[in-house]
Amino acid sequence: MKRTVSIILALLLCISLCACGTSSESSSSDTQEGADVYSNSEIESSSEKSHELTDDEVEMIVVQELYNQISTSGWYQADPGSCRYSINKTERKPGFIYIYGEVYLYDKYGKLTTGYSDGSGSYSHTFEIEYSLITKSVYKCIIE
């Protein structure tokens, strides 16, 4: 739980610092009073980079989405803050990021659980998260 909270806080700090850096770049280009400071290719590549996510930001998306999904899944014995995950693969395609991995269900005491009181099911589940870079939100999340 502490690890999850610290990751979330660190990523929020990182995102807020990135936002501050973006606004200072635009204000410095505005002070040039219309001077052609950047070439068109530099502007295009910088706008493409602004749509890319760092590995830490991708991990933050995974943490938030898995927490939300496990909270509402019906795995009542599983504690969303105690569950662990591993990211196996990240694919970056135009407009989307696809994240594949595995989540391991733990209860609030730190013991593996299937999530069900009768013990049926599996301790681990694969997940696929589709994140839209355009809307900056999770488009789809499947936990099997």
pLDDT in tens, the chain (144 residues): 556 655 665 555 556 555 555 444 444 444 444 444 434 444 344 344 445 788 888 899 899 999 998 888 888 888 899 999 999 999 999 989 999 999 999 998 999 988 888 888 889 999 999 999 888 888 888 888
Domain boundaries, the chain: 2-143
Task: Provide the token pair at 117.
Answer: 């009181």
Report yes or no on whether pTM surpasses 0.75: no
The amino acid at residue 47 is S
Model pLDDT, residue 114: 86
